[in-house]
Amino acid sequence: MEPKKIKNALISVFYKDGLEDIVRALNDNGVTIYSTGGTYKFIKDLGIEAVTVESLTGYPSILGGRVKTLHPKVFGGILSRRDMFSDGEQLNEYEIPEIDLVIVDLYPFEQTVASGAAEQDIIEKIDIGGISLIRAAAKNFKDVIIVPSVDRYAEFLNLYNEQEGCTTLADRRRFATYAFGVSSHYDTAIFNYFNHDEQLPMLRIGADKCTTLRYGENPHQKGFYYGDLDACFDKLNGKEISYNNLGDIDAACCLIDDYEQTTFAILKHNNACGLACRESLLDAWKDALAGDPVSAFGGILITNRTVTRAVAEEMHKIFFEVCIAPDYEPEALEVLKGKKNRIILRRKNFRMSERMFRNVLDGVLVQDRDTVAPRAEELTKSVTSTPVTPQMASDMAFATILVKHTKSNAIVLAKSGQLLASGTGQTSRVDALRQAIAKAQGFGFDLHGAVMASDAFFPFADCVEIAHEAGITGVVHPGGSIHDQDSIDYCEKNAMAMVITGIRHFKH
C-alpha cells in the first residue's frame, strides 16, 4: 500500500512535554488540528491554529470534562474505512472529516494511586474518552496512525519528518501494537486497584518496560526483564546485568531488608554463604567473608550501610560480580571502580513486590512474599528447662531470618551474629545439617555455644542429636512433627535450649 499523507489530526493529551515539536511539524505541513481543553489552549499559546472538538461536534464539553470526544463526528472520522465507498458517503452526509492521526496521553491513573490520593481523585483519573480514542484509532490502523502516549512522541516525530508527513502501513500497525499495549496495561492497573482485596480470583499483570538480557539462565536460553531497574538502583559501574545477576540481586535485597543492625552479606546462587552483624561495617565485612571465603568468589555483596574507603579496600581484594549498598563514599567508589566489569549498584528506596510468581504447567503460582522476620524478644521461651540467654535469643533471630532466605531443606548454624555455615537445598534435613557442620568445621569454627535454625520441623530426633554432638546448645525450629516430643526430650536431657516458633519457612 502507498504511504498515507496526514491531513487531519486529533490531539488530546495529559502530558504535553515533547508535544510542541509535533504540533509545529504538523502545522508546517498544513495539517488541520482538532483538539480539546488544555491541549487546545497549549496549541493556541504556541501561536498555531486549531479547531476545538466542540465546534466539530456541536456539543460543549459536559459533566465537568467527563464527556468531550465521545461523539460520532469524532469516532466516525477515526473509524471510517477509506476503501469502503459507503463509509465515505456517510462522512460526506454528516460532514465528518477523516482523521488520519490521533495523539493521546491518558490520565495518570497509576501515578495517582501511588500518590496516596483519595478514592474520588483516583476515580476521576480513569480515562474514558482517551482510551476509546486509542482503541478506535488502533483498530483502524489501515488508515489511521495512533500515538498512544508521551513515550511515543519522539518516535512518531522522527518518522513523520523522515517520511515527509506520510505514514506506511507498517508504521501504523506498529503504533497500533503500542496502543493496545497501553490500553491493556491501563485497564490492568484499574482492575488491580478495584480487585486489591481479590474479591475475584483473577490474575492480571501489566509490565511496559522490558530489558532484553544477553541470555537467560544459560547461554542457549533467551532472557528478558520486565520492570524498571532505574527505579531500583543507580548503576555506577560495570557490565550489563545478567539474568542470574538479577535473581541474586533480588535475593540479596530481600535478605538484607530483614536486618536492622549494621550487616554485610555475601550470596551465591540466591543463598547466603556469608553474613555478619557488627557495630562497624568493616568488622561485618570481615566476619561475613570468614563464613565461607571460597564461595565468596564471584559472589553478590550487599550491605545496609554506606561503604567507606576502608571497607572498599578490603572488598577489592577478592573477585565479586555485584556490590549493592545504599551509598558509597567517593573514595570507596574510586577503589571499587578499579575493576571495569564490576557491577556497583546504589540502591534506591523502592518497594519490593508483595507477591511472588512462578510459572508451572500451563499456569502461574502466586503467593504472598514471606515477610515474617522474628526478633530476639520473641524467641525467649524455651520448651526445655534450659533457658534462652539474651545472646542465644539474638542468634536464634539472626539464624531464623537467614534460614528463611535459604533454599530448602535448610539448616543454618550461627554464633555471635555471624553465619558459621548453612546446609542448603538438601533432600533431607539430616544431610543439610551434616553439610553445615562439615563446612563450619572446615573453616575452623568452634560450634560450642552455637545455635541451629531449621526452616521446617525435625521429623525425628536425629538432627538435635547430631547438633549436640557438634557442640550446638540452642535450637530454633517451627515444630509440627508428630515426633516433636522426641526432639524436645533429647534437648531436655542434654541441657539444650529449644524454641518452637510455629512458623515454617520453606523456600523452593
Instruction: With beta carbons less than 8 A apart as the criterion, state whether 450 and 472 touch.
Output: yes
Instruction: With beta carbons less than 8 A apart as the criterion, state whether 37 and 104 touch.
Output: no
Residue type, 29: N
CA distance 210 to 208: 6
Strand blocks (E) in 213-362: 224-226, 233-237, 263-268, 271-277, 299-303, 320-325, 343-347, 355-360
For strands 451-454 and 474-477, give the pairing: parallel
CA distance 410 to 433: 8
* Catalytic-labelled residue, pool 7, 16, 142, 269: 269
Task: Please name the residue that has the C-alpha cell 496495561.
Answer: 185
CA distance 375 to 372: 10
139 catalytic? Reply is yes
Instruction: With beta carbons less than 8 A apart as the criterion, state whether 478 and 370 touch.
Output: no
Residue type, 103: I
Tell me: cis bond preceding 27? Omega within 30 of 0 counts.
no
- The number of beta carbons lying within 10 Å of the beta carbon of residue 33 is 21
Using alpha carbons, select from 414, 439, 410 the residue that is nearest to residue 423: 410
Identify the bridge partners of residue 4 per DSSP, sorted by sequence position: 167
Residues 477, 483, 485, 489: what is their CA dihedral angle, to the nearest 10 degrees? -90
Instruction: With beta carbons less than 8 A apart as the criterion, state whether 179 and 197 touch.
Output: no
- The CA-atom distances, in angstroms, between 371 and each of 24, 285, 503 are 53, 25, 11
* Catalytic-labelled residue, pool 139, 142, 286, 316: 139
Task: Please name the residue that has the C-alpha cell 477509506.
Answer: 82
422-427 contacts at long range (C-beta below 8 A, 24 or more positions apart): 422/271, 422/272, 422/273, 424/271, 425/271
Residue type, 262: T
CA distance 409 to 55: 71
CA distance 266 to 275: 6
Distance of CA 59 to the CA centre of its chain: 45
- In terms of DSSP H, where are the helices of 226-326? 229-232, 243-256, 281-290, 309-315
Hey, which residues are catalytic here?
A: 139, 269
